Amino acid sequence: MHKSFYRLLFSLMLLMIVFFPYDVCAEENSQTASDYYNRGLVCYSKGQYDLAILNYDKAIELNPQYSYAYNNRGNVYYSKGQYDIAILDYSKAIELDPRNAFAYNNRGGAYCFKGQYGLSILDYNKAIELNPQKADFYHNCGLAYSSKGQYDLAILNYDKAIELNPQYADAYFDRGFTHSSQKQYDLAILDYNKVIELNPQYAKAYNNRGNGYYSKGQYELAILDYNKAIELNSQYADAYYDRGLAYSSQGQYDSAILDYNKAIELNPQYAYAYYGKGNLLSFLRRNKEAIECFYKFLQYAKPKDQWIEKGKQRIRDLGGAI
């Protein structure tokens, strides 16, 4: 059954967005390009993205060579999910300042979100060439390699990020994810141990470590970690789902169904929670309810999900129409 291993690539603020320093003493009524640039930063920090763009537009109008303004306007579009426009701004920033490592890094992030991992890796490597001491660049490059399934190269980059910054919890976290992807669960657990040592409030690290224990058949240890993840974040639907799988594997079926239900309550479109619940209900010979769960799974599963055909087959096996 699918497990909800997390890596930062699926987090909202996955990759470093770099903004440049500004003069907090700038007068609000001044009209220079730098003043509009500074106000753009302030607007962005307040989540006022459209106002930030207007201020960067004005800064660029007054100074068309303002590389940092293009970079930061790109960051705003990036945060709005408008990756194509962000890439145009990062490209202009690079054209104006070819040694702007941060613009390469940020453009790499936009390419990564578009699934263009090859272009993303080229940009990260260029950022690293320009600034080889920046741990974030290696971490981001590792994320892109991991997304391509090039796990050994991903780990090399995470290793370098950790070498440069031994307190880099996110790099340990994502290296742990990559080890899990290679079924190297003991190595993954070691990395999650380090994440938790560095940040005991890191709920996703407990959840992922729990998944490592689950994959090793150590269900009691897995449940302890899922409990901790839920204690830290009571709205964590994946932790309920994963704990449901562990309870089911232990034969604690009522507890498993409660957890699947809670995951679905928190995320009514949680396809895998319906699948897991359907599997358990079919085992308990509650076939009608199981079929309804598999229908829900098919409704919410992503179009190319590898479990879709299995879901259809489960419906057929239970006598449902598909």
Asked, for residue 126, whether it belongs to a domain, the answer is yes
Q: 151-181 pLDDT, tens per residue?
A: 999 999 999 999 999 999 999 999 999 999 9
Give every CB contact of residue 26 below 8 A, 6+ residues apart in sequence: 34, 35, 38, 39
Q: Model confidence over 227-240: pLDDT tens digits?
A: 999 999 999 999 99
Claim to verify: residue 92 and residue 32 sit in the same structural domain: yes
Residue 16 has pLDDT above 50, yes or no: no
**Residue 45 Cα distances to 19, 38, 106, 202, angstroms:** 10, 11, 17, 24
Residue 240 tokens read as: 């309920």
- Looking at the structure, do residues 87 and 163 belong to the same domain, yes or no? no
- How many domains is the chain partitioned into structurally? 2
Are 146 and 192 contained in the same domain?
Answer: yes
CATH number at residue 86: 1.25.40.10
Is 314 part of any domain?
A: no
pLDDT score at 8? 47
CA–CA distances in Å: residue 192 to residues 7, 218, 242 = 12, 16, 17
Alpha helices in the chain (DSSP H): 33-45, 49-62, 67-79, 83-96, 101-113, 117-130, 135-147, 151-164, 169-181, 185-198, 203-215, 219-232, 237-249, 253-266, 271-283, 287-300, 308-317
Q: How far apart are CA 103 and CA 92, in angstroms?
A: 9
Q: Is residue 35 part of a domain?
A: yes
Q: Which of 200, 218, 252 is the last residue of a domain?
A: 200
122 within a domain of the structure (yes/no) = yes
Closest CA to 235 of 204, 276, 256: 204
145 and 194, same domain (yes or no): yes
pLDDT value at 23 more than 50: no
Q: Is 278 within the bounds of a domain?
A: no
Write out pLDDT tens, residues 99-127.
Answer: 999 999 999 999 999 999 999 999 999 99
Residue 83: closest CA among 72, 74, 71, 92: 74
DSSP structure string for 164-192: H-TT-HHHHHHHHHHHHHTT-HHHHHHHH
Measure the CA–CA gap between 235 and 256, rounded to whole angstroms: 17
Looking at the fold, whether 130 and 188 belong to one and the same domain comes out as yes
Q: Say if residues 240 and 231 touch (Cβ distance below 8 Å).
A: no
Please provide the DSSP assignment of 200-245 as one string: TT-HHHHHHHHHHHHHTT-HHHHHHHHHHHHHH-TT-HHHHHHHHH
- Per-residue model confidence (pLDDT) at position 31: 87
Q: Tell me which of 44, 73, 98 is where a domain ends.
A: 98
In a domain, 87, yes or no: yes
Mean per-residue pLDDT over the chain, rounded = 92
CB 39 within 8 A of CB 31: no
Return the minimum-mean-pLDDT range out of 9-13, 63-67, 172-176, 222-226.
9-13
Note whether 120 and 90 are same-domain residues. Answer: no
Q: Sign of the C-alpha dihedral, residues 242, 247, 253, 254?
A: negative
Given this model, what pLDDT does residue 167 score?
Answer: 98
Structural domain boundaries, residue 159 = 115-200
Residues 127 and 191 both lie in one domain: yes
- Show which of 152, 179, 200 is a domain's final residue: 200
Domain assignment present for 290: no
Which string of b and e fits 143-175 if b means at least 16 CB within 10 Å? Answer: bbbbbeebbebbbebbebbbebbeebbbbbbbb
Judge if 119 and 195 occupy the same domain. yes
Does any domain span residue 66?
yes
The pLDDT assigned to 3 comes to 54
Quick one: 131 and 90 in the same domain?
A: no
